Amino acid sequence: MSYIAITIQAGAELTDLLIAQLSGVGYEGFEEQAAALIGYIPATDFDEAALVEVLEAYGVTYTKETILPVNWNAVWESNFQPVLVEDFCGIRAAFHPPFTPPPAYEIVITPKMAFGTGHHATTSSMIKLMQALNISGEKVFDFGTGTGILAILAEMMGAAEIDAIDYDEWAVNNTIENIAANQMQKVKVWQADRLEKINGKYDILLANINCNILLQFMADMRKLLQPDGILLLSGILPTDELTITTAATAQGFVHTKKIEKDNWLAMQFEIAIV
């Protein structure tokens, strides 16, 4: 099958938004570069009008190239490198050898076209925030699970229950595969894009998405948390820190910690004691 490669001249601040929107119109893979994003879509599914509709809101330009049939599994394998977050968590594919020396937790994933391989600063920073938490015995919710890395890590860290959702069917299926590959037993994942119908209360809520979605669902995330719950957010640009903090404060959260990496923020909030 031939593919169309679309190279979009866009900075890192737009990457997550563009990936989310282009995935919704059929794009199956993405490659992040310093000042550009390349999206891949089967030639038979390419709709230039749909592409223009997505991009016109951002004022970005693009170029188009036809890619002849390739072995996409081989391409992903050659491009996907193991990730090590200090000595705490290592993320690798099945075709990589185990880490030496081994980190505290080692996750094996098949990244395919889903988001969250650990390479992006938003994911690795969430992992670092999780490292400082006592997750043993806790009930965890992963909002926008991607490849399932954070949900899998939560179980490895001793969480009693983990529920995970993603709006993207491909991401959900990939997470299911990764749960099985890591022999996890406590992670439940399903396809959803909203929170108001989620039942139950959680001790920890993870949301590695983007600023607009975080703002949209801030009140719903608060409702899902126990009175002493912890909220970890990522996908935030430094310029949006005040906006996120203000919205969280309005819902009764206090900001307790943040990590900045590669111009992205991960932030920790806890419920204010009244």
Residue 42 reports pLDDT greater than 80: yes
Q: Are residues 124 and 206 in the same domain?
A: yes
For residue range 167-204, what is the model confidence (pLDDT) as tens digits? 888 789 889 999 999 999 999 999 998 998 898 899 99
Is residue 101 reached through a cis peptide bond, with omega within 30 degrees of 0 on the bond before it? yes
Global confidence as pTM:
0.77
Backbone angles phi, psi at 254, to 5 degrees: -120, 140
pLDDT at 88 over 70: yes
pLDDT at 230 over 50: yes
Both 137 and 29 in one domain: the answer is no
- The residue that leads in pLDDT, 236 or 153, is 153
Report the candidate in 149, 86, 119 with the shortest Cα–Cα distance to residue 15: 119
User: Residue 114's pLDDT is what?
Assistant: 46
Domain that holds residue 32: 3-70
Residues 66, 93, single domain; the answer is no
Report the domain count for the chain. Answer: 2
What integer pLDDT is reported at residue 116 of this predicted model?
Answer: 56
83, 64: one domain: no
**Cβ neighbours of 24 (radius 10 Å):** 12
Structure tokens at 215: 């703002």
Task: Calculate the alpha carbon distances from 81 to 99, 120, 151 in Å.
Answer: 12, 12, 21
Look at residues 46, 70, 94 and tell me which one is the last residue of a structural domain: 70
Q: Where are the beta strands (DSSP E) in the chain?
A: 3-8, 29-32, 37-42, 62-67, 83-85, 89-92, 105-108, 139-143, 161-166, 187-191, 202-208, 225-236, 253-261, 264-271
Output DSSP code: residue 239: G
User: pLDDT per residue over 55-67, tens digit each?
Assistant: 998 999 999 999 7
